[in-house]
Every structure is written in C-alpha cells, then in structure tokens.
Chain A
C-alpha cells in the first residue's frame, strides 16, 4: 500500500467525518425545532418520574447541619416583583397578606402570616438544586402543605395542587405558577415556608411565603405564593403545561 493512497484515503475519511459531523449537528438543530421529535424525546419524562419514585419511595431529602448553610442563598428568576398587588402588600410589611386555599376542597380557607406562624411548623436545612446546575443550602421553616390541605379537606376529584404567585417573570402581565401532584403535596418536607435561615423569607427568596418541595428542582418550588388551588387537571391554566417554565419547554416532573 503506497503512502499516496494512504494519504488520500485519510483525507477522504477526514472530509467524510467532517461532513457527517456537520450534517449530524445541523440535523440535531433541525430536529430540536420539530415539535413531534421533541415530544418523542419528552416521552422519557413520565418514565423518569415513575422509575425514580419507585426506587426512592417516600424517603426524605437529606437534611444538613447548620454549619453547612450557604453564606448567600442565591436567588434566581424573579428577585424583586413589581406587580401592583405585590408592591401594595410589601409596602406595609405583608400585614394584609392572605394565603388562600381553594378549588376542589370542602372548606376554602384563608390564612394571614400570623395564622400561618401559629400552625405546627417544620424546620429543615436542605439543599436547593437549580435546574442550571448549582446548589445552595438553606434553613426553612413553614407549615407542612399536608396540614393546610387537611384543614381545607381535599375533595376526591382533586389530583394536582396549583400554586399561584405574585410575580410576573415573563414581564407580559402573566403570573408565575406551578403545579405538583398529591404525592409531592403530602410529602412531609413539602412546606409553605415563611422563615428562611431564622428570619422572615427575604423578598429575593420569595417573601412572604414560598414553597419548599425538596425532591424538586428550584423552578418547581414557587416563590411569592398567594393561592393554593386544588384541581383535577392543569391543561386549562396559562400555557397548559402546569407551570411557568413548563410552558417554556421544561419538564413538569422536575425531579432530575
């Protein structure tokens, strides 16, 4: 085999490899724009949910020692909501704030911050994992969501809990929202938190009340919550995917 043939073969191979590489990537980009293909890719989302829940059951997220608490609990998404209803509440220190529990419940309820603080409290030092990849550790105190749901008596048809929020992250007049199913709603570490690191939750981290849903990524743990609504489905809400980021293409499961 002469070196000339070797060389030209090699060059041919290189051109072929480069060509394949380019078309592969162009192909990936084209496929990423096709709804049908993206739906196929998204088909593993329920698989992730089922398999991960099967493997881990009702176990609790790890809780850490106070010494592990991050110096700054990095905020993300909305950090200073400017919607009029929020600004009005913030102006008098959230004294007029009311958390509403409504929807498919026997007894719709309203709680002031005062009332929430007088309910049984759970405190947990947990790790917060952002979908972007970073983690911070913080201490949270609040009312277990199960307590609120039991007080309002969830009706049989309810399947999801929707959280309605004050912030307009999109800046288009819409409001942030999120949803979880009853499995996560009744998890002992799912709490409506009014206290972070021993002080009232700061505005950047969701004042006056945010959800801690410890087996989920950050975007599934809404801040600035004003209403907890029990529903049988979330398809009629906003973009229909069950949450602000879900409507933008993120997975509803949000556990990985």
Chain B
C-alpha cells in the first residue's frame, strides 16, 4: 500500500490502520460457494463443448460455416490443433484442438484436459457435473439476491448513485495511476467495481441461465419467444459460451484487482470478514482534504459500507 503515501507526510503519523468488518458471513459463504460452482460449471461446460467443438448462429447447425470451431488435423504423422473463427484459420496446437494429455501425448480435445471435468473425454459425466452445479449455483444466486435485498446490501453498497456516475472518469484515472483510495472510500466499492458486479449479477447471470435453459428441447416448448429473439437454439449455445467467456474474463480481472489492492487484506476480508483500511488521523494536516471519518471509529464494528 505504498502508493498512497504523500511525499510530505509520514504515513505512521498522518494515517492509522483500522480494521473493519467488510463482508458479513452470509456473503462470504455465498462467495465461496459461487466460486466452487463456477469452477465446476466452466470445467464441465468445456467437457460438453468438447463433444462438438463448434459454435453456430441460428436455429440449426450449418456444419460448413461455424462461427468458431476447433478441430484436429493430421499432418504427416503429427496431430495439429486448428481453430477457425469465421473463415480465418489458426494453428492452436497445445491449447485448442490438440493438447497434451496426462502422459504428455498429443490428444484431440477442444481444451487441455486440465481445464475439463472430468479430465478425459466423458460427456455423460460432464453433463452430470454441469446440471448438478447449475442447480447449486442458481440456488446460491437466489439466496444471494434475497440476502442482498433484505440486508440492503444491494441498495446501499451496489446501487450506482449520482456521485458514482460522476466519479467514473476519476475512478478510471485512479486505476490507471495505481492510486489506492483511503478511508471510507477504501471500504466502499468504487464505481467501476459496482458496474462490473451489477453487470455480472443482472446481465451475465440471467443471460447464461436463460441461454442454458433454452438449449433444452423440453424447455423450448415454452421458450420459443426467446429463441425467436436471439435467432435460435444454436445462437443460444453460442451466447451461452460467450457469457461463460465473459464470466471467466470477469474472474481473471477480479483476481488481478485483488492482487493489486492487497491480496492478503482482500482475501482476509472474504474469509474472516476483516479488512484493514488506511484512515487519515483526525487533525493531521494532509495535502488533500481528509475523507470524513465515520461517526463511530471503533475497530471491528459492523461497517455500513460492505
């Protein structure tokens, strides 16, 4: 946390560390259940994709013109992985199309075995994982939504306020300059963070659930309106995949931000709930105006800014 130090002051005198309760236990529990479910869903989802590693747009599969496909090409006595995006073809041996199996032998697979559940080709088992954890994930998500509404987490901590919209440019600059917030601001979600979480909760999650369900021929007897909207079942499958990729991208950025913001502190706040915040001391002459102090500056209190 060295970047917050202003050149003319000594942090130990002008600032103090306070420990706050950042995340309450239901949120922490649901966070880790969510992670477990998502890992299982992505791994088993890739196993399912592996059964037919090609994505199309429309109602049916146009096998000659996939949007995105991987395949295995035999060149001489060598297996090469080829990835096709539209009409462009790329050699992706080792990652997509062909990768080393557990014994290091080149094998035909959409992604390497370590990214699939199970690690070997087994669609039936992958489906079982996928549908079990789909239920677990949806139930966990509904619990999260109910808890967030009841505890006002959604309204208080996640909802974008006018000030959040206005401070987006400044938040972008803060991120680019590696400027860490202090005080109350550090205990709150910044506007970019709020937008990312809101997009995941209210855009990506419904999208991945609905596109997942609309791949079911039984559900489709009642979901024709949705398929008509997006162009058909194969569009749903493609969108389901893109939503998954967006979730993975979110998770990668999320982890990068955790490391950037202080991995120990951030991890602790999601395990024990405790989070250390750098507060300016009362009366200290700081070059910038000091953020307002909370009413009761008691360590370990229930902090409203969760």
Where the two chains meet, the residues of A that have a C-beta atom closer than 8 Å to any C-beta of B are: 1, 9-10, 13, 24-25, 28-29, 32-33, 38, 40-45, 47-48, 52-53, 55-57, 59-62, 64, 68, 70, 72, 74, 127, 129-137, 214-217, 245, 248-251, 255-256
CB B150 to nearest CB in A, in angstroms, measures 25
Q: Give Cα distance in the complex from A130 to B51, angstroms.
A: 10
Total A-B pairs in contact (CB under 8 Å)? 143
24 chain-A/chain-B pairs, Cβ below 8 angstroms: A1-B1, A9-B263, A10-B259, A13-B263, A28-B119, A41-B132, A52-B218, A56-B221, A62-B221, A62-B224, A68-B60, A74-B63, A129-B217, A129-B233, A131-B51, A131-B127, A133-B52, A133-B237, A134-B52, A134-B234, A135-B59, A135-B61, A136-B60, A255-B217
CB B235 to nearest CB in A, in angstroms, measures 11
Is residue B49 within 8 Å, beta carbon to beta carbon, of the partner chain? yes
Is residue B100 within 8 Å, beta carbon to beta carbon, of the partner chain? no
**Contact yes or no, A133 B51, CB < 8 A:** yes
Closest to B64 in A: A71
Known: A28-B43, A56-B221, A136-B61. 5 other contacts (CB 8 A): A10-B259, A33-B118, A38-B125, A129-B217, A132-B123
**Contact yes or no, B40 A56, CB < 8 A:** no
Contact of B264 among A9, A41, A60, A70 (CB under 8 A): A9
Contact of B218 among A42, A56, A74, A136 (CB under 8 A): A56
**Contact yes or no, A28 B128, CB < 8 A:** no
Q: Give Cα distance in the complex from A64 to B2, angstroms.
A: 64
**Contact yes or no, B124 A64, CB < 8 A:** no
Cβ contacts under 8 Å, A61 to chain B: 217, 220-221
Q: Give Cα distance in the complex from A42 to B232, angstroms.
A: 28
**Contact yes or no, B123 A38, CB < 8 A:** no
Also in contact, A135 and B60, with CB within 8 A (given A47-B135, A62-B220): yes
Also in contact, A134 and B63, with CB within 8 A (given A13-B259, A24-B39): yes
Cβ contacts under 8 Å, A245 to chain B: 124
Q: Give Cα distance in the complex from A214 to B224, angstroms.
A: 14
Is residue B294 within 8 Å, beta carbon to beta carbon, of the partner chain? no
**Contact yes or no, B222 A55, CB < 8 A:** yes
Q: Give Cα distance in the complex from A132 to B237, angstroms.
A: 11
Contact of B128 among A25, A56, A251 (CB under 8 A): A251
Also in contact, A48 and B131, with CB within 8 A (given A25-B114, A32-B118, A56-B222): yes
Is residue B219 within 8 Å, beta carbon to beta carbon, of the partner chain? yes
Q: Give Cα distance in the complex from A41 to B123, angstroms.
A: 14
CB A214 to nearest CB in B, in angstroms, measures 7
**Contact yes or no, A41 B129, CB < 8 A:** yes
**Contact yes or no, A52 B117, CB < 8 A:** no
**Contact yes or no, A129 B51, CB < 8 A:** no
Closest to A64 in B: B59
Q: Give Cα distance in the complex from A10 to B259, angstroms.
A: 8
Contact of B219 among A1, A32, A56, A136 (CB under 8 A): A56
Cβ contacts under 8 Å, A250 to chain B: 123-124, 127
Q: Give Cα distance in the complex from A132 to B48, angstroms.
A: 7
**Contact yes or no, B218 A70, CB < 8 A:** no
**Contact yes or no, B60 A216, CB < 8 A:** no
Is residue B204 within 8 Å, beta carbon to beta carbon, of the partner chain? no
**Contact yes or no, A38 B128, CB < 8 A:** yes
Chain B 122-156, CB-CB to A under 8 Å as 1, else 0, gives 11110111011011000000000000000000000
Closest to A256 in B: B216
**Contact yes or no, A32 B122, CB < 8 A:** yes
CB B49 to nearest CB in A, in angstroms, measures 7
Q: Give Cα distance in the complex from A255 to B48, angstroms.
A: 15
Contact of B216 among A72, A214, A255 (CB under 8 A): A255
In this complex, which of B61, B129, B217 has the most chain A Cβ atoms within 10 angstroms of its Cβ? B217
Also in contact, A52 and B60, with CB within 8 A (given A9-B263, A28-B117, A45-B131): no
Contact of A248 among B43, B124, B222 (CB under 8 A): B124
CB A110 to nearest CB in B, in angstroms, measures 31
Pairs A-B, 5 closest by C-beta atoms: A255-B218, A249-B124, A256-B216, A59-B221, A32-B118
Cβ contacts under 8 Å, B227 to chain A: 62
**Contact yes or no, A68 B59, CB < 8 A:** yes
- B 202-246 contacts with A by CB, 8 A: 213, 215-222, 224, 227, 232-234, 237
**Contact yes or no, B118 A28, CB < 8 A:** yes
Cβ contacts under 8 Å, B43 to chain A: 25, 28
Cβ contacts under 8 Å, B158 to chain A: none
**Contact yes or no, A216 B217, CB < 8 A:** yes
Q: Give Cα distance in the complex from A62 to B218, angstroms.
A: 10
